[in-house]
Amino acid sequence: MAEAARLATPQPVNIAEKLASFSDHWNPRVVGRYNGNEVRIAKVDGEFTWHSHAGTDELFMVISGDFGIEFRDGLVKLAPGEMLVVPKGTEHRPVANGECQILMLDREGEPNTGASPSHYTRERLETI
């Protein structure tokens, strides 16, 4: 039998249920992995820190809330259901006006604060 035949059948991940399982802000949880990348979800509120990711693009998708990403040349607002890819090496600062729920794609192990450690840095992300 082929290797793949012994693997368990993939099961759906309910993002709303995962989001309901935690309440803290700026502490992404990993809900899936593929091709060396992580699918992360987070609740966020307020302004994050400026940072960039030298080795990986970063995708943001807004699930709920009034969310945007500030770049050095201006703020880009994202409505729920909209997504944006921050190219690697690009300075950015996520901004949430009130609590927002977001989904992110990042390379596995990439620090949430990129190359700019701060009190927002989470050394190990919990998988839920």
> Where along the sequence are the contacts to Ni ion (CB under 5 A)?
58
Q: Give the residue nearest to Ni ion (CB).
A: 58
Question: Cα separations (Å) of 44 from 9, 48, 62, 66?
Answer: 32, 9, 11, 10
The distance of closest approach from Cβ of residue 61 to Ni ion in the complex, given in angstroms and rounded to an integer, is: 13
Amino acid at 3: E
Q: Select 4 or 54, whichever has its Cβ closest to Ni ion.
A: 54
Question: What secondary structure letter does DSSP report for 123?
Answer: S
Range list of H helices, the chain: 15-20
Q: Select 38 or 58, whichever has its Cβ closest to Ni ion.
A: 58
The distance of closest approach from Cβ of residue 52 to Ni ion in the complex, given in angstroms and rounded to an integer, is: 7
Give the three-class secondary structure for 69.
strand
The distance of closest approach from Cβ of residue 87 to Ni ion in the complex, given in angstroms and rounded to an integer, is: 11
For the beta carbon of residue 26, count every other beta carbon within 10 angstroms: 19
The distance of closest approach from Cβ of residue 111 to Ni ion in the complex, given in angstroms and rounded to an integer, is: 9
